[in-house]
Structure 1
Amino acid sequence: MKSFRLLSAAALVASCAAVAVSPAHAQSKTIYIGMNGGPMEKAYTSQVLPMFEQANNVKVVVVPGTSSDILAKLLANRDKPQIHVVFLDDGVMARALSMGICQKLDDSPTLKELYPFARMKDDIGAGVQLGMTGIAYNTKLFTQKGWAAPTSWLDFADPKYKGKVVFQSESSSTFGLHGFLALNRLWGGSEKNVEPGFSKWPNTVGPNVVEYVPNSAKISEMVQTGEAGLFPLTPTAVADLQDKGMPVAYASPKEGPVLLLVDVCVVKNNPDPQLAQKLAQFLLSKPAQEKAAVAGKQIPTNRLAAMPASMQKSLGNVEGLLSKATVVDWETINAHRAEWDKRWNQQIER
Structure 2
Amino acid sequence: MLIISAIVVFNQVNYLHNKDLGFSKDQIMFFPMRGDEMFTNKDAFKDQLEQIPGVASVSVGYGFPGDAVAGDGIKTLKNGQLVENPATQLMVDYDYIQTLGLEMVAGRPFSEEMGTDRDKAFIINETAVKNLGFETPEKAIGQQLTWNVWNNTNPDSLKVGQVIGVVKDFNYKSLYEKVETTVLQIFPDAAWKVAVKLETAQLESSLDQVETVWNKFSPEYPLEYKFLDENFEVMYQSEDKLKTLLGVFTGLAIFVGCLGLFGLAAFSAERRKREIGIRKVLGASVENIVMLLSKDFVKLVLVALLIASPIAWYFMDGWLQDFAYRINIGWYVFLIAGISAVSIALLTVGFHAIKAAVSNPVKNIRTE
TM-score grouping bracket, smaller chain normalisation? under 0.3
Using structure 1 for the length normalisation, give the TM-score.
0.25
Larger Rg: 2
Using structure 2 for the length normalisation, give the TM-score.
0.24
